[in-house]
């Protein structure tokens, strides 16, 4: 393949091993090509970083570190990273080649998916992200373009090569730019703080699920800054606004995943995967409603007091109006902070508005502030808020007088009979009981429950709550923490897959990815191993990946007919099969060669038998004694014995036409069908 002027990388052999082929996609920081691993003779995908990046030592170190991080991810739904390197200033990453199309291609061609199909497509994406999060890796650029659909229908998540470890801080370049993902899938905290953890991937996956359900992105605008502003200041709309009759619990799943407050989302993709599977199960059972599931999934939204322009705290209906028009304030990104939209977009993605874009510092400040990209509406909202504030100040004296009257009446009608419930959370039961009795109340333990935040043996929650009013001697009930809810991975090796699945469910765990592998020792359908391994402590709902046996690997039966016996047996032995032989005469096949085999083709398993029939050559027959017989009689007897006959005169021939002798002589053994010569006298 020759290098072209249009693309100087095409045709190169990187690191003396990887031949670069046709370009697949081009993004802001890299171009992806088809390639060939010349050493292993296998197709690969090669991501080549754009020229000049190798000159940045910090970038090279980060690139190498993140490539190694991505290479640790081994999962059936993750595009494998094979190698990384540098060749004459060219940084490159070698990945698994997945022929097929992207999830973006599917959305373009089919539009919105049915709820069942949308969840079925999202599940392997979350399974891949869950594996990454367990390994401490955040993807940071989850989008349909990075989800590949192979020709056999398997989904694989790509582009972990530019991910970051969960514990890593967002790194700035020398110009103050930071790579944080494609604008349509950005979590709000990435825009306001420039930092994100696994919950940023959860947000992007929620946006992707919304797009699968509706066929469109939830936030759109005329420019990237408008889209970014909406991610920070507007909730993702419910998919049911565009898809009638969508169950409430599906809306709740999307709302939970795309909550603007990271603390309201699933902690990582493993949790979201568990939630999605609950929703898939409800859909599979045809449930139009499931109030308990909807309540479990719906994010908790707290109404926080908002300061108006004059420092007054807004509460009640006014606070709600104010929040709807101006939203809560968010802190500014630090000076010099620039948001860059990541690379990795296919060359034909311009129609989707996903081309690489850089937002200026002023743009970012507009995203973080209340100011909408469409300023007339924002100005109108501020003016309305100011008018409401003036009305409240005018009514304030009246409200104060009414409050004093109501307070006096409340005290008069028995307010003094109440006491305040003390705060008991995180106290030991004994200390909590002492504090309750000091307040003149009675104490009881109503139960125990799991907690990720309160250590075992301490008060987890109380009723009435801390600071609530309670009648004297009223009973205060507390729930004691059992500590974090964890379950040990059971021994799964040797179980049928169905039994392993049932055992995991009994243990409050679930099956993650299932990889099938040939095994000569483990029967088909039986679990070979699990990941994490047995006795690993996991959160409820965590996924456990299984390796399940496909049984023995089938072996193609080699064709050895016509070969010498020794060569035929050696070839069968090399195929890990067993040869047995029998011998028989054959007029056509030379002695020692294979006449036939059973089976003649198809497949067998290791150690199975291939029966060979080996030729002993033609059958040997004794030459009859025809000495003294006439020519006609001698010929007839020889032909009856299976020989061909010829004649010749002897040295003493006198014309009598009697047989003097035969060649070969009478009584000798000759192959049936061979020539016998009659010597005449």
Distance from C-alpha of 98 to C-alpha of 94, rounded to nearest angstrom: 12
Read off φ and ψ for residue 273, nearest 5 degrees: -60, -40
Structure tokens at 220: 């759109």
Q: How many helices (H) and strands (E) does the chain have?
A: 16, 36
Q: What angle do CA 257, 261, 267 make, to 5 degrees?
A: 50
Give the strand pairing for 609-615 and 578-584: parallel
- Residue 348 annotated as catalytic: no
Structure tokens at 101: 């199309």
Give me the residues paired with residue 484 across strands: none
Name the residue with tokens 């691993």: 37
Q: HSE (CB half, 13 Å, CA atoms) of 522? A: 19
- CB 327, CB 381: distance < 8 Å: no
DSSP string, 122-137: HHHHHHHHHHHHHTTE
Distance from C-alpha of 442 to C-alpha of 435, rounded to nearest angstrom: 10
- CA–CA distance from 572 to each of 308, 442, 553, 584 (Å)? 87, 85, 16, 20
Does 398 sit behind a cis peptide bond, omega within 30 degrees of 0 on the bond before it? Answer: no
- CB 652, CB 599: distance < 8 Å: no
**DSSP H helical ranges for 14-56:** none
Mapping DSSP to helix (H, G, I), strand (E, B) and coil, where does residue 188 land? helix
Read off φ and ψ for residue 453, nearest 5 degrees: -115, -30
Which H or E run contains 14? strand 13-14
- CB 366, CB 229: distance < 8 Å: yes
Q: Which residues contact 565 (CB under 8 A, 6 or more apart)?
A: 581, 592, 593, 594, 612, 614
Q: Which of 141, 248, 352, 586 is catalytic?
A: 141
Query: In three state form, how does the secondary structure of 529-592 look?
Result: EEECCCCCEECCCCEEEEEEECCCCCEECCCCCCCEHHHHHHHHHHCCCEEEEEEECCCCCCCC
Catalytic residue numbers read: 141
């Amino acid at each position: 393949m020759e290098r072209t002027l249009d693309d100087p990388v095409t045709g190169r052999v990187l690191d003396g091993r990887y031949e670069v082929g046709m370009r697949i996609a081009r993004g802001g920081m890299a171009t992806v090509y088809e390639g060939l691993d010349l050493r292993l003779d296998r197709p690969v995908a090669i991501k080549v970083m754009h020229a000049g990046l190798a000159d940045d030592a910090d970038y090279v170190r980060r690139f190498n570190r993140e490539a190694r991080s991505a290479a640790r991810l081994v999962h059936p739904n993750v595009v494998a990273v094979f190698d990384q390197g540098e060749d004459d200033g060219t940084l490159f990453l070698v990945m698994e080649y997945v022929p097929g199309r992207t999830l973006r291609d599917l959305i373009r061609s089919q539009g919105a998916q049915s709820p069942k199909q949308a969840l079925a497509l999202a599940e392997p994406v979350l399974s891949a992200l869950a594996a990454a999060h367990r390994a401490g890796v955040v993807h940071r650029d989850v989008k349909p373009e990075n989800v590949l659909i192979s020709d056999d229908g398997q989904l694989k998540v790509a582009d972990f090569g530019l991910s970051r470890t969960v514990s890593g801080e967002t790194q700035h370049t020398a110009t103050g730019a930071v790579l944080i993902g494609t604008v349509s899938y950005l979590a709000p905290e990435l825009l306001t703080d420039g930092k994100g953890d696994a919950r940023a991937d959860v947000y992007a996956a929620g946006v992707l699920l919304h797009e699968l359900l509706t066929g469109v992105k939830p936030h759109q605008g005329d420019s990237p800054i408008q889209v970014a502003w909406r991610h920070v200041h507007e909730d993702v709309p419910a998919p049911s606004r565009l898809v009638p009759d969508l169950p409430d619990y599906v809306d709740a799943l999307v709302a939970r995943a795309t909550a603007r407050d990271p603390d309201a989302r699933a902690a990582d993709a493993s949790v979201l995967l568990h939630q999605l599977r609950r929703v898939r199960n409800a859909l599979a059972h045809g449930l139009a409603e499931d109030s308990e599931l909807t309540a479990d999934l719906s994010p908790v939204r707290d109404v926080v007091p908002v300061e108006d322009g004059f420092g007054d705290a807004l509460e009640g209906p006014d606070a709600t109006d104010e929040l709807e028009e101006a939203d809560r304030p968010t802190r500014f990104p630090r000076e010099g902070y620039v948001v860059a939209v990541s690379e990795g977009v296919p060359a034909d993605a311009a129609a989707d508005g996903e081309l690489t874009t850089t937002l200026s510092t002023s743009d970012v400040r507009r995203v973080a502030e209340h100011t909408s990209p469409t300023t007339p509406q924002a100005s109108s909202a501020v003016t309305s808020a100011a008018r409401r504030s003036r009305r409240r100040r005018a009514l304030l004296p009246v409200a104060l007088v009414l409050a004093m009257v109501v307070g006096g009446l409340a005290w008069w009608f028995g307010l003094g009979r109440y006491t305040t419930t003390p705060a008991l959370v995180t106290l030991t039961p004994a200390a909590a009981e002492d504090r309750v009795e000091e307040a003149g109340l009675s104490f009881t333990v109503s139960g125990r429950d799991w907690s990720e935040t309160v250590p075992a043996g301490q008060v987890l929650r109380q009723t009435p709550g801390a600071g609530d009013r309670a009648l004297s001697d009223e009973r205060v009930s507390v729930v004691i923490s059992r500590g974090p809810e964890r379950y040990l991975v059971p021994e799964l090796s040797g179980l049928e897959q169905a039994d392993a699945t049932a055992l995991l469910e009994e243990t409050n765990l679930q099956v993650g990815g299932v990889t099938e592998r040939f095994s000569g020792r483990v029967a088909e359908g039986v679990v070979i191993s699990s990941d994490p391994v047995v006795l690993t402590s996991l959160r409820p709902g965590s996924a456990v990946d299984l390796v399940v046996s496909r049984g023995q690997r089938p072996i193609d039966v080699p064709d050895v007919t016509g070969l010498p016996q020794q060569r035929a047996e050696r070839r069968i032995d090399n195929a890990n099969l067993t040869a047995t032989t029998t011998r028989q005469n054959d007029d056509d096949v030379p002695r020692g060669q294979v006449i036939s085999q059973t089976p003649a083709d198809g497949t067998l398993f290791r150690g199975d038998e291939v029966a060979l029939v080996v030729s002993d050559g033609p059958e040997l027959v004794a030459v009859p004694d025809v000495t003294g017989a006439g020519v006609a009689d001698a010929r007839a007897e020889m032909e009856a014995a299976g020989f061909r006959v010829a004649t010749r005169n002897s040295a003493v021939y006198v014309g009598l036409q009697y047989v003097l002798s035969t060649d070969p002589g009478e009584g000798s053994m000759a192959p049936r069908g061979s020539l016998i010569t009659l010597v005449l006298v």
